[in-house]
Amino acid sequence: MATHNDTGHWGEDRAAEYLIERGYQILEKNFKDQHREIDLIVTKDKMLVFVEVKTRSGTGFGLPEEFVNYTKAQLIKKAAENYIYQVDWQHDIRFDIIAILILPNGHMDIRHVEDAFY
């Protein structure tokens, strides 16, 4: 497995831990819908949240959250639409980004961007 895949999976695990600590319940990890994928699907207080996790070890190419472009957001929204239909969700939804930056000292900086796109 490529190093970037290892980093991505590591980041998804850290994001799940972060959300659980804040009272979210994990419903799905790496939900696949045809060629589309949603990293995490979580719920809290009747809010269904679709989470894209971006993990980077540096900012040379930009901040992690800047890697969620229009096309990626559209793919996530289409997969979310299908998930909502499958589970017959009748409450509010939201699209978030968890941006994880691995710092040179080995620590990490986690930013939770709520309502990152619509």
What CATH number does the domain containing 8 carry?
Answer: 3.40.1350.10
23 neighbors 36 (Cβ within 8 angstroms)? no
Residue 5 class from Cβ within 10 Å (0-12 exposed, 13-18 middle, 19+ buried)?
exposed
- pTM listed for this prediction: 0.91
Q: Which domain holds residue 85?
A: 3-113
Q: What is the pLDDT of residue 118?
A: 83
Position 66 confidence tier, pLDDT thresholds 50, 70, 90 = confident
Q: What is the pLDDT of residue 64?
A: 86
118 within a domain of the structure (yes/no): no
Q: What is the pLDDT of residue 3?
A: 64
Q: Is the per-residue pLDDT at 88 higher than 60? A: yes
In the beta sheet, which residues pair with residue 75? none
Phi/psi of residue 22, nearest 5 degrees: -100, 15
53 within a domain of the structure (yes/no): yes
One-letter identity of residue 35: H
Q: What is the mean pLDDT of the chain?
A: 92
Count of structural domains within the chain: 1
Nearest to 40 by CA among 75, 76, 78, 7: 76
11 within a domain of the structure (yes/no): yes
15 within a domain of the structure (yes/no): yes
